[in-house]
């Protein structure tokens, strides 16, 4: 599955077919928005969930910034070697167990220290901005890495719409959790729903991707459908999947792996080859599907030029 060729596109071109073809649903949305405005209701209360987006729907993309020219992994590797503990703790389990995961309709609620709290349906998210293809390195804390043509746009695009207030200093993210669809979650050993957090300036950095697809299509369920975060300068566990809640908050929020083992997984979790995990070295990594750690791990996973300035004055050995 080759990545789409970038080109000069109009807004209509970058709107997924499944979205713009569904005119009736669009008109219903417009109608409800108008009624809400008339009734003085906030959009937060009336987002229209739409069932039109399924895993594997083709997306039209433009070329985004920050792409690496390293060799892209195959779709097969990226969609069959996953961490998604809600669907099992072994790497092959999510691909098998997430097949029936119901991801539509889907809404993401954005609340907290914002002037305009709001719920976004996945269709609304797909239309917020032209969808960019960004080829990022993705490095897991366990020592493996992959190169993936993700699709999405900067998280800041969505954040600006809700207008974070001066009190917002962090962003808290929460994944969907339904034990009836995710029975293995009970045996995962971590607290669920999965939660993660970023400092506001990290979340607003243009590299921070609100991701809705990969390899020219909407995300496979096991890769975090229908919408997830991708933070390429941080260990993979910061890149939370299947997002349903985003809260702008004053205080540093919890993060699942930090709660599980604070000595092993810090809040920042920037990729740092000089700070070993208490149980293994982080100096090298294996690029899937390789078996040996033949790649040197780079500071900030190679994105130092973009993000190092976010951490001026912060001791990155203490704040791992």
CA distances in angstroms from 271 to 37, 67, 183, 256, listed in the order given: 45, 18, 32, 18
Output 52 or 239, the one with its CB closest to ligand MTE: 239
CB 83 within 8 A of CB 76: no
Using the structure block, give the residue that is written with the tokens 């890495």: 145
**Among the residue ranges 29-37, 76-84, 102-110, 151-159, the one whose residues contact ligand MTE (CB under 6 A):** 76-84
- Give the residue, chosen from 239, 258, 269, 301, that forms a contact with ligand MTE under the rule CB under 6 A: 239
Radius of gyration of the chain (CA): 19
Q: Nearest to ligand MTE by Cβ — which residue?
A: 236
- Give the residue, chosen from 29, 43, 57, 84, that forms a contact with ligand MTE under the rule CB under 6 A: 84
Residue 234 CB, shortest distance to ligand MTE, in Å, is 10
Size of the residue set binding ligand MTE (CB under 6 A): 17
Distance, in Å, from the CA atom of 263 to the CA atom of 203, rounded to the nearest integer, reads 24
Output 18 or 239, the one with its CB closest to ligand MTE: 239
Residue 256 CB, shortest distance to ligand MTE, in Å, is 7
| Torsion angle of the four alpha carbons 24, 26, 30, 33, in this order, in degrees rounded to the nearest 10 | 120
* Sequence-ordered strand ranges (E) for 106-220: 107-112, 118-121, 132-139, 144-154, 170-175, 195-199, 209-214, 217-218
Residues 88-107 that bind ligand MTE (CB under 6 A): none
How does strand 209-214 pair with strand 144-154? antiparallel
Q: Is 182 in the site for ligand MTE (CB under 6 A)?
A: no
Pair of tokens at residue 48: 């229209």
Using the structure block, give the residue that is written with the tokens 């990226």: 78
Which positions from 197 to 236 touch ligand MTE by CB under 6 A, shown as an x/- string? --------------------------xx-----------x
- Give the residue, chosen from 4, 83, 218, 255, that forms a contact with ligand MTE under the rule CB under 6 A: 83
Distance, in Å, from the CA atom of 19 to the CA atom of 218, rounded to the nearest integer, reads 12
Q: Is 149 in the site for ligand MTE (CB under 6 A)?
A: no
Distance, in Å, from the CA atom of 45 to the CA atom of 109, rounded to the nearest integer, reads 10
Output 112 or 220, the one with its CB closest to ligand MTE: 220
Distance, in Å, from the CA atom of 175 to the CA atom of 144, rounded to the nearest integer, reads 23
**Among the residue ranges 38-46, 82-90, 277-285, 306-314, the one whose residues contact ligand MTE (CB under 6 A):** 82-90
Q: Which residues bind ligand MTE (CB under 6 A)?
A: 82-86, 138, 140, 175, 194, 223-224, 236-237, 239-242
């Amino acid at each position: 599955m080759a990545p789409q060729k970038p080109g000069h596109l109009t807004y209509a071109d970058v709107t997924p077919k499944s979205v713009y073809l569904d005119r009736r649903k669009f008109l219903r949305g417009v109608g409800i928005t108008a009624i809400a405005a008339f009734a003085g209701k906030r959009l937060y209360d009336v987002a229209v969930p739409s069932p039109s987006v399924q895993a594997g729907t083709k997306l039209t993309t433009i070329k985004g910034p920050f792409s690496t020219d390293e060799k892209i992994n195959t779709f097969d590797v990226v969609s069959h070697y996953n961490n998604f503990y809600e669907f099992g703790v072994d790497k092959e389990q999510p691909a098998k167990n997430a097949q029936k995961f119901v991801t539509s309709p889907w809404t993401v609620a954005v609340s907290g220290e914002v002037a305009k709290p709001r719920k976004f349906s996945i269709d609304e998210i797909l239309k917020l901005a032209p969808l960019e293809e960004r080829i990022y390195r993705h490095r897991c804390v366990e020592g493996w890495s992959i190169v993936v043509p993700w699709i999405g746009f900067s998280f800041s695009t969505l954040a600006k719409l809700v207008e974070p207030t001066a009190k917002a200093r962090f962003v808290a993210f929460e994944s969907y959790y339904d034990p009836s669809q995710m029975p293995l979650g009970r045996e995962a050993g971590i607290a669920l729903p999965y939660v993660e957090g970023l400092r506001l300036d990290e979340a607003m950095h243009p590299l921070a991707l609100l991701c809705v697809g990969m390899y020219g299509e909407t995300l496979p369920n096991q890769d975090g459908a229908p919408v997830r975060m991708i933070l390429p300068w941080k260990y993979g566990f910061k890149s939370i999947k299947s997002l349903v809640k985003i809260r702008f908050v004053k205080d540093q929020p919890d993060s699942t792996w930090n709660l599980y083992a604070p000595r092993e997984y810090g809040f920042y979790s920037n990729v740092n080859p000089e700070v070993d995990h208490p149980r293994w070295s982080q100096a090298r990594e294996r690029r899937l599907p390789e078996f040996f750690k033949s790649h040197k791990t780079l500071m900030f996973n190679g994105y130092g030029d973009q993000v190092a300035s976010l951490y001026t004055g912060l001791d990155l050995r203490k704040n791992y």
